[in-house]
Structure 1
Amino acid sequence: MTRRARTAEALRGRRRLLATLCLVFALAAVLAAVPRPAAGTATLGAWAVSGTPTADPGDVVTFTISINNVGPSFAANVWANATVPPFTTYVSETVGGITWFSGEWFSGNRRGWNFTNLPAANHTFDLTLRVLVGPADQTVLPLSFFVNYTDDAGLPRPESAASASVKVVIPTILITKTPTVDPVDPGQSLSYSVVVSNWGNTTSNTIWLNDTLPPQVTFVSVSGIQPSRCTGPNCRVLNLPARSQQTYSINVRVASSAVRGTGVTNNLFANYTDNDDTVLGSVSTSASVTVRVLTDLTIGKVPDAPFAFRGQTITFTIWYNDTSASALGATWINDTLPLEMTHDRSTPTGTVAGNTVRWQFPNVATGPHSLLLVVRISASATNGSQLTNVVTGNYVDGAGQPGQQVQAGASIVVAASLPAFEFAKTAAPGTAAPGATVRFTVYYNNTGTNTSAAVVIDDTIPQGTVLTNPSETVSGVVGRRYTWRFTNVVTGGHSITYDLVLQNVAVNTTLVNFAFLNFTDPFGSPLSPPGSRSAVVHVAASNGGGSGGISPLTLVVGTLIALAVAGLLGYRVVAAKRQTVIDEVFLLHRDGLLIKHYTRRMRPDVDSDILSGMLIAVQNFVNESFIGAEGLQREGVLDELRFGEFKIVLERGQWVIVAAVLSGDPTNRVKDEVKAAIRALETALGPELEGWRGDMRSVEGADRYVQDLITGKYRHAWGKG
């Protein structure tokens, strides 16, 4: 090639190079004019994984942490942090092996790592932690990992996060301890049953059981476990698998000096390991027994009455019973009397020291026993006061062991005055036809000397009758039984009236209507009731009208009443003398209320209420049949009723009526005596009798005049009526 040709070729080469350079510069200019992307040049992901799924305290767990930059460029700044699980502690990490690692920090359970210009690649390091004692079996320990970063231009990118966890698997030990007998006696042997249970999910290699015996017991032996694993009551259980248990017994003896009634508490403590001998913790339990109190003696005390008058004696029965299967040893009974009581006598005889009465028995056989204590109420005891008498019992059993003291008490109320009731029931008319109405009257006259806190009257009406128009509100009805309840019933006369409609009864039948009365003292304690009272109604066909004079109905009622009184008093006929004798006197107020009953009999409490009730019935019968509505307000109501050799003489004064039951003849002179006694009585007690409202103390002076009448001191008045 010629020189010219070579020169031309070189020129063309320079031109091609210049064109290429221009193209490069133009491309560079274009590229320079295109904006750089703000995101996408570096994309980071976070991953974390545990080296094991389960662990127990003491185990080392490695978490592998990964920061993956998928590019295409580097991340200018990277901040990574992890929240480590509770119950773990830091061991080590391998982050220092990453070239672009620039520093780390930690605060509490958080650890952080910083990186600079982290290139596109997967960057991995390990974080190693140790599991601590504390979490329960099956507790999940989580680790959280977070990555924040900027791209190569320093712009923030979205956060990446990852997590990993490990589950705690350990044994869970529970222990129980149960005595085989409770209560126990001094010197007695007993055993404690110990149950060791593993409710966890892995084996416990060693369980140490330490028993702290109380001073009241001494160690004897263990059973149900290899003796080589025990030192005294302290034992070891080895290799207890998950969900299993082992039982053994600790045998002890109660000290003979143990005090009865005290408690004995035995504490048991256990420490245990997991399956690689890490000591996990401790558990405890306890068991208690009581040193038995001897309760073989029971005691009780009962008075023979709930009330006693001042100066009166009252008897207490004291029961002391051996409830055991063998005889008791020495037994002491001590009764402490209140100041208002003094010892009168006792059976067996007790030893009296001050206000205490004592009995001592060398032994007491099995079964019930009793003694009697009679005391006298002081004359200075306060009316209405409650006196409580306390008795105690102490003893030893057949072996000489002291038993528990027992105690009982009994109370009585001091009563200067009590209520008493005359109780009667009448029916009028005594004979009626079906469909008729019969008026019944129930009398409950408080003839005592004090108010009754509560009075209850129960009245059962006959079948086929209907009760209407009661004078007092009915408190309750159960079937055919009607109940009236009254409170604070004062002395004096009281009554209830009601009508019975003979609605569905047959002709020629006899209807008997019973009533019952119960009452209390002024303080609400029950007193002896007077018994039932009844009234009789005969059902007869209607005669279609009446006639003059006394009706057959009246004659029947009168005959029934006469027979009742005659039957009550008839026992006196044989013994009666031919001379006139006043056997009974009933002193009544002019309104028909009984003031007092007097008698020659030795036992006036036997049937005085019956006599007075019948007498009230007679007065009502006479009032209805002969006198009319004003009967008891007029003089001369009824002079005399005759029943064989007995007569009931009634005489009326200005304020009182005297009914005298007589035996013998003549009786006409007795009327003069009765009138004389009434005049004397009303002269002395006129103001008190005129406005009398049941206060017995205001008419106590009447006793003198009535007693004089009974003993014949008014015979000087014969013929002077």
Structure 2
Amino acid sequence: MVVTFAPMTSIATDPSSPSAWKQFQSSYGPQLTPGTYHVEVVSFEKNGAKSFIAADAVVRSPAFTLQVSPTQWSVLGGDILFYQVWYNNSGSGTAGHVWINATLASEVTFVTSSAEGSRTGPTNWTYVNTSVGSHLLLIEVRVRSGIPPETFFRSLVALYWTDEKEYAGQPLSATADVALGGPVVSIVLVPALATIHQRQAFVMTVNLTNSGDSAGTLWVNVSLPSGLSYVSDSSGSLNGTSTPTPGGVNVQLAAMPGAASWSFDIGVRSSAGLLRGTQLNTTANLAYANTHGGLMPTRSASGSVVVIAPLIVNGTIRLGLTIAVPGDVVPMTVEFENVGDEAAPNVWVNLTVDPRYAFVSASMAVTVQGGAIRFRMSSVGRVQTRVFLNVSVAPAAPDAAVLGIMGTIDYTDGLDSPLPRGQFAPVNVTVTAPRFTLDASPALATMEAGTSAVFTVTPANEGTGIAGDVWLNTTLPSDLEYVSDTSDGQRMVLGSDLVWHWQSLGPGPRPFTLVLSARSTTADQSSADVRLQVQYTDTNGNRRADLVATPRVTFVAPMIQLTLLVSQESAPAGTTFFYTLRARNSGTTTARTLWLLDSLSAQLSLFSYTSSVPATGSSTLNWTFRSLRPGEEQAITLFVRIAQDASPGTAIPNEIEAVFTNSEGTVIGYSQSLAVTVTVVEPQSPLPYIIGAVVAGLAPVLFFVYRWSRSRIEQVFLVTKDGILIDHFSRSLVKDQDGDVLSAMLTAVQQFVKDAFRLGQNRALEEMKFGDFLFLVERGQFVYLAVVTAGGKPPGIARKLRRVLNELEAAYGPVFQTWNGEMEHVLGAKDLIRRRLLWERRSPAKPE
């Protein structure tokens, strides 16, 4: 009970001034039942201080039973009779007062008592401080004479009492019947067993004894409690009849002689599900008559049986570990205690364990099947029982997994009847294990050949356990080389194989940087995978699942493609011809520096070259280009002369080489063109060879000018006598689209003009046919007209060229003589050439 802020009455005050103390009291609630009460009192002062006191109080109370019985059951007039009054104090305290008041039947008169000193009235007795225990009062009476005929008389006794504090208790009363002559039949009910089990059959014997005269008819009505059911009876052996009832059986017997003793059995069966300790009380009520049919005082008897059974309690599973590493052996103790009335003939324990446990051993024979461990015990007495087992955590059990164990216990009573199942409270083991992740960034990387890149590799133990050993392995692809790393693990490098090793690695990440370099020979747009693999164990050496991270590297690089063309494949000694050298960056990054090298044969001498950068060297020419971007091309036209003493039949090879760097300036590559060969032949008339060299140089471009099957002029070049182009006109080529072709054609024309007229200063060049194309050059005083025709030689072409050339020199001779590139001074020349050489046909030429 709790009483909070209850009002308390002041009962005393310290007489000192000022007062040091006060006493208060408080009464609580209804009458208390006997026992010990613990009282705690807490007081709170205004200043916040608290005071506390505790005390125990014992509540005692008497508890009475009252029974009255005569010393004889049948009397006659004038007989002396004693009433035995038993008032038994079975409580915990002394009774302050006990009052016994007897109301005697009119058929008797009071004589005396065994406690005359306590008698306070004719039939009243008062006792003080009646202690715990049994107490007897004898009341002596005499039966009156001359009593009218009757069967029996009844006397009444009442008892009143108070406890030590004079609180009144519950009054009690009892009666006693005495027969006036006739039969006096007593009844006793005796169960054959004092303790039974559920579903057990047993008998109860009804004993009848007649200590008086003969009795007429007797009726015995047996009332069975819930939990017992009637089966049969043996009253037929006394010529009796029985009638089963819903709650028992009624038996009728006849003519019981005086001084006779009869008995018969009643067969019963206990029901299922009776709880241990249940008391089953059976009552047998007797009614009987004298030989004249008069009813005598009724009698009753009772008999009880108690249900007994084993009772298994405190079923507990105790684990030696609550946190375990995979592979650990977990000790387990299964405990229970039989606190019942008898041994349990059979006990079955069924443990259900997580499938990630494996059975190891037990202190007794067990059966293991799947996730169940079972064992059976016999005759388990009233003792505490322990069974010891060992299970191990599966090596592959994941981190933080909760592995449960639960169980049930079944058992039977002495008749092998099943009793309610018991449960074991579930217990758990939490797995602690390493759990790694692996990350490598960047996952997609681009590296230029000859450069280095930094990768961040992060093996991380995200589990709760410690890793025994951790290995990080990789085999670098052939295009990558190891440079360095910042790992705190033990590193081993063997060729392209890298291994890092850690021991006792707890939770948390272990990031480090890994520097790799791309080989200079790595091809542009190739790719490679860097496969990183983590292998690790827990502290018990169990191998955990491997992890893989695979960053992909795409390589970029400049790629130099070289082409080498020669203007003619054969030439006599002393002839000048030219090579066209082209270097193109077909890669995806810039070549910071490009060196083009041409080691000329001893049979050749450098005549001249055209290039955007100067060359160094004599026999080996070296052109150095800076920053050749992707898709960019550099071209060199190299004019050479065959030595005069070169023997006919001599093959003169040539090839060009390139050395280049990546965008950071690191030399990464070398390439070489296909070799071309010029064969020295016997000299002939110089003019056909000169024209042949020019036509050979023009061979790649003549493909573009062959557009018409009839004869016409396709290309016109106006060139100074020094080989400087003044203007160009074309029907088929467009400057912006066909720049490479025009450049090659112009180079050929310039060299043709220079060589041709150096050989013949005072004569005009006529013509040279090459397949369907005709190449013609007309020389003037200050300039030259060079044309390329298709479809044969146009009629009157020589005269037309001469007339046009004369008109041009007549109109612009002084400008041509001192030509400085200012086109505004020769605008009319353009119109003249177009009108006189190109527009005379139906299909006009394309303006440049």
Range into which the TM-score falls when normalised by the shorter chain? 0.3 to 0.5
Question: Which structure has more strand as a fraction of its residues?
Answer: 2
Q: TM-score, normalised by structure 2?
A: 0.30
Question: Which structure has more helix as a fraction of its residues?
Answer: 1
Structure with more contact order per residue of length (Cα contacts < 8 Å, sep ≥ 6):
1
Q: TM-score, normalised by structure 1?
A: 0.36
Q: Determine which structure has more spread, i.e. the larger CA radius of gyration.
A: 2
